[in-house]
Structure 1
Amino acid sequence: MAWLNKVKQWLQWLGLYLWLLSGTIVLTINATWLYYFNARWQHLGHLVNLSTGRLMTNYFQLLAYLNFPWVRKLQMRDFTDSPSALVHFADVKNLFLLDYAVFIVTGVTTYYLWRRLKRDRQLWRFVLPMQTALWVPPLIAAVMAVNFDQFFVFFHKILFRNSDWLFDPLFDRIIIVLPDTFFGQCFVLAFVILEWSFAYYLSVGKQALNELK
């Protein structure tokens, strides 16, 4: 059935985009070097009377909770959280685990897409989809640059069903060492990784196209 094959191929292309996006998120959320840079550059530890090393220990404990299904309770050495903050971090954890699931599943479909195109000598098909995709990160980055605060709020309203992400520094001191500038850098890093991924697949497609000439 021709229509079934077309649906299958369309899903594989969708899977490729989702794989690149979810992989970008995986790399970004685990870029501990970026947080360390901010901790040193902005002297974040001093804001809560902690050394940089002690602050990083707490950050690793937070990441362990968010990343690993078997870590069911958030426990940081020097921070306690209000009930609403715990709900928010639980929501973030669910999003992290969903991203990992998408990355794994679409990794399988992307492998079969790559294998099929390489077998049929059709890797050149990457050219048009990647040329189109290359415009997406710059457009989103431009929107973000106009008003990052508004973009940040809009981003949270899309992802979360409540306002628990609005932390009160008096009750949730962790927010003091998670500044907006750090999250802005995370977005920039994600755009760079995603743009590089699109460019890589575009180069693969162009190389395959040149080999056919």
Structure 2
Amino acid sequence: MSKIRVVLIVGVSFLALASIAFLLAVNLSPLLISFPHQLGMRPHAILHAYGQLLLYLQLPGLKAPQLGKLALSTSAAHHFAMVKNYFMANEFLMVVTTVIAGWCLKRMKRRQQLWQLLAPLQCLFTLIIVVLALVMVNFADLFIKSHYLLFHDMDWVLSPANDPIILLMPVSFFSNVFVLWWGLLLFFLVVLWCSIWFRTRFLKF
């Protein structure tokens, strides 16, 4: 198998695992939110409101976020609608790349070629750790710059007075979700590498 094909298979597998890890990190994010006293709400009410936002972002049939007692301005609703588009794109990417990666890995398994993925995966581990370290050095600045790239307006600048949901999501919250996302991704890649390594060792034996 050519080196280019191996790199492409590793790339598709990376995208599949990255999109899965992102979805898991988002759904685990309620564990990372704080309960600001400014909201004047009980923790279970805050979790319910945040959970409603997550449902809206991930389910294609929902037309508008319902945040319970938390007010939501028109600009914030528009911003979350834009975020929802990115979530939908991630879910589409997850389905497509998972199917392709699964088919490719099965084919390589039948041909006893999985061992060719070990070295590229090791390079990928190093790259992920380096990127994570570089991003975390100045996460706040990169986080703001990414919003200028991803959104064509300034609706993402939310005011706590008009959109109190933003109090649940300071920059530190997003940095923790980012670390969780990349940590899950690294874990999945290590599991993939270990399963291939043990399988190839067993076949050699």
TM-score normalised by length of structure 2: 0.90
d(CA) in 2 for partners of 1:184, 1:6: 35
Which residue is equivalent to 1:212?
Answer: 204
- The one-letter code sitting in structure 2 at the alignment partner of 1:19 is A
Question: Secondary structure of 1:31's partner?
Answer: helix
In the alignment, is residue 14 of structure 1 matched against residue 6 of structure 2? Answer: no
Unaligned runs of 5+ in 2: none
Equivalent in the alignment of 2:23 = 26
| Residue 150 (structure 1) aligned to one of 141, 148, 153 | 141
Structure 1 residues without counterparts, runs of 5 or longer? none
For residues 70-85 of structure 1, what are the structure 2 equivalents within 5 Å?
A: 70-85=61-76
Counterpart CA distance in 2 for 1:177 and 1:10 is 40
1:154 is displaced (CA, Å) by: 2.4
Alpha-carbon offset, residue 33 of structure 1: 4.4
| Residue in 1 that maps onto 2:82 | 91
> What displacement does 1:11 show?
4.8
Paired residues in the alignment total 204
| Separation of aligned partners in 2, 1:9 and 1:112 | 14
Kindly report the root-mean-square deviation, in angstroms, between the aligned alpha carbons of the 2 structures. 2.2
What is the aligned counterpart of 1:106 among 97, 118, 133? 97
Q: 1:118 aligns with which of 109, 120, 127?
A: 109
Secondary structure (helix, strand or coil) at the match of 2:11 reads helix
The CA distance in 2 between the partners of 1:128 and 1:148, in whole Å, is 30
Letter in 2 for 1:203: C
The alpha-carbon deviation at position 162 of structure 1 amounts to 2.5
Residue identity matched to 1:26: L
Q: In the TM superposition, what is the alpha-carbon distance from 1:13 to its structure 2 partner?
A: 3.7
Shift of 1:87: 1.4
The letter of the residue matching 1:133 is L
Alignment partners' CA distance in 2, 1:84 and 1:121 = 54
Q: Give the aligned residue type for 1:17.
A: F
Which residue does 2:172 correspond to in 1? 181
State the alpha-carbon separation in 2 of the partners of residues 207 and 68 from structure 1: 38
